[in-house]
Amino acid sequence: MKQVALPYQEHEHKGLLKALKLQRMASFSKGMLFLLPSIILFSVFLFYPLGRTLYLSFFLTNSSGQTTVFVGLENYMNIFNSPIFLKSLQSTLLFVLYTVPGTILVSLFLAIIANEKLKGVGLFRTMYASTMGISTAAASVFWLFLFHPSIGWLNQLLKLLGADAIGWLTNPDWALFSVSIATIWMNSGFTFLILLGGLQSIDQYLYESANIDGAGYFYKLRRITLPMLSPTLFFVITVSFINAFQTFGQIDMLTRGGPQNETNLIVYSIYQDAFMNYQFGTASAQAMILFFIILILTLIQFKLGERKVHYQ
């Protein structure tokens, strides 16, 4: 700003522009220097694989993943004509629809009740967060026992109640639902913890003044807690969305994509095509589609979400 105030002269102006340019360059390279570590890490672990995936998606490959025949967009056309891929897209969307709201509602409820200052509430907090400490594999094995068609506890319970047994993981009408339940259970620990953290950082004076005004519990929940929690909720929703799209472990353990491809979520379908069928081209094409879906959804979320999010 100071320089602009100097008396105007042609040659000085030129020198000024140069100096400004140099300054800008210096600050740009300084900025780049700070960004360098993350740029390198991103390039090695994200951008290069992304480029490689795009490249592979235009080829057929042999079993060790080397490209053999260039086919252009054929892989993309094939997957969009394949009933299996369309089914897998549909299942993935349904799965996201079941698990994201499910996880968030369950953990929000748990976080709100665990946020009350009661004796021994620490025990419950630990309990609700504990699923975070259980690996997907261990949790899946545990649910596998619950879901077992004849000796599983869930069906034993149904039997006691006099109801018919349900093929939790073998009946195509139930399988996706069952996997979703298991997933909600597995993810609720992490979401609970983040939401509880968010709740605890809300200033108490807001509640105090609301109390003075004579606000009721649900009024405070709606007008103070939820708006103040919105940044945390926004983060949790975004992360849950992406997680749900990338679900793999429990599918591999519980159903292996079956029955009838009902739980063949897109990442599992990519895995099957690449590492079991050795069709790296088709798998890469699917991965690119998944990338764009997540990219678009995240952009939409940021556009819509940021308007509603209330930052302190």
Partner 1 sequence: MKKIAVILFGLFILLVGCQTNDSPETSEEAAAEESTPEEVESEPNEPVEVVFWHAMGGALQEALDQIVDQYNASQDAVVVTADYQGTYDEALTKFNTIAGTDSAPTMMQVFEIGTKSMINSGGIEPIQTFVDAEGYDMSQLEENIINYYQLDDTFYSMPFNSSTPVMYYNKDAFDAAGLDADTPPATYQEVEAASKQITESNPEMKGFALQAYGWLYEQLLANQGALLMNNDNGRSDTPTEVGFTEEEGKSVFEWVERMINDDTFANYGTNGDNMIAGFFAEDVAMFIASSANVRNVVDSAPFEVGVGFLPYPEDKDREGVVIGGASLWMMNGKPEEEQLAAWDFMKYLQTPEIQGAWHASTGYFAINPAAYEQPIVLETYEQIPQLQVTVEQLQSTVSSFATQGALMDMIPEGRRITETALETVYNGGDVDTAYQSVVDQINAAIEQANRARGE
Exposure of 5 by Cβ count < 10 A (0-12 exposed, 13-18 middle, 19+ buried)?
A: exposed
Q: Does 150 bind partner 1 (CB under 8 A)?
A: yes
Q: Which of residues 273-302 bind partner 1 (CB under 8 A)?
A: 275-279, 281
- Would you state the structure tokens that stand for residue 253, as one six-digit string? 């353990």
Binding to partner 1 (CB under 8 A) within 73-132 occurs at none
Stretch that binds partner 1, among 25-33, 109-117, 132-140, 258-266 (CB under 8 A): 258-266
At how many degrees (to 10) do helices 121-129 and 175-200 cross?
Answer: 140
Q: Which range of residues in 11-19, 124-132, 169-177, 212-220 is near partner 1 by CB under 8 A? A: 169-177
> Using the rule CB under 8 A, is 160 a contact of partner 1?
no
211-230 positions binding partner 1, by CB under 8 A: none
Which of residues 189 and 281 has its CB atom nearest to partner 1 in the complex?
281
Q: Which of 89, 154, 169, 184 binds partner 1 (CB under 8 A)?
A: 169
41 binds partner 1 (CB under 8 A): yes
CA distances from 40 to 27, 33, 37, 193 (A): 19, 11, 5, 32
- To the nearest 10°, the Cα dihedral for 14, 16, 20, 22? 70
Told to check if 156 binds partner 1 by CB under 8 A, we report: no
Of positions 28, 34, 45, 219, contacts partner 1 by CB under 8 A: 45
- Is there a contact between 259 and 171 (Cβ–Cβ < 8 Å)? yes
60 is a site residue for partner 1 (CB under 8 A): yes
Q: Choose the binding region for partner 1 from 55-63, 128-136, 203-211, 293-301 (rule: CB under 8 A).
A: 55-63
Residue closer to partner 1 by CB (options 38, 204) is: 38
In whole angstroms, how close is the CB of 206 to partner 1 at the nearest point? Answer: 18
Cα maximum dimension of the chain: 96
User: CA-CA distance, 26 to 21, in Å (whole number)?
Assistant: 9
* Residue 31 interacts with partner 1 (CB under 8 A): yes or no: no
Residues 277, 279, 62: CA angle, nearest 5 degrees: 100
Contact segment (CB under 8 A) with partner 1 among 18-26, 162-170, 212-220, 221-229 equals 162-170
Determine the Cα–Cα distance for residues 105 and 270; give it in Å rounded to an integer.
Answer: 30
Is residue 278 within 8 A of residue 62, CB to CB? The reply is yes
- 193 sits near partner 1 (criterion: CB under 8 A): no
Q: Which candidate, 93, 42, 115, 97, places its Cα nearest to that of 237?
A: 97
Residue 247: DSSP 8-state: -
Q: Which of 114, 194 has the CB closer to partner 1?
A: 194
Query: What is the number of other CB atoms lying within 10 angstroms of the CB of residue 115?
Result: 17
Give the binding site for partner 1 (CB under 8 A): 38, 41, 45, 60-65, 68-69, 148-151, 167, 169-172, 194, 231-232, 234-235, 255-256, 258-261, 272, 275-279, 281, 311
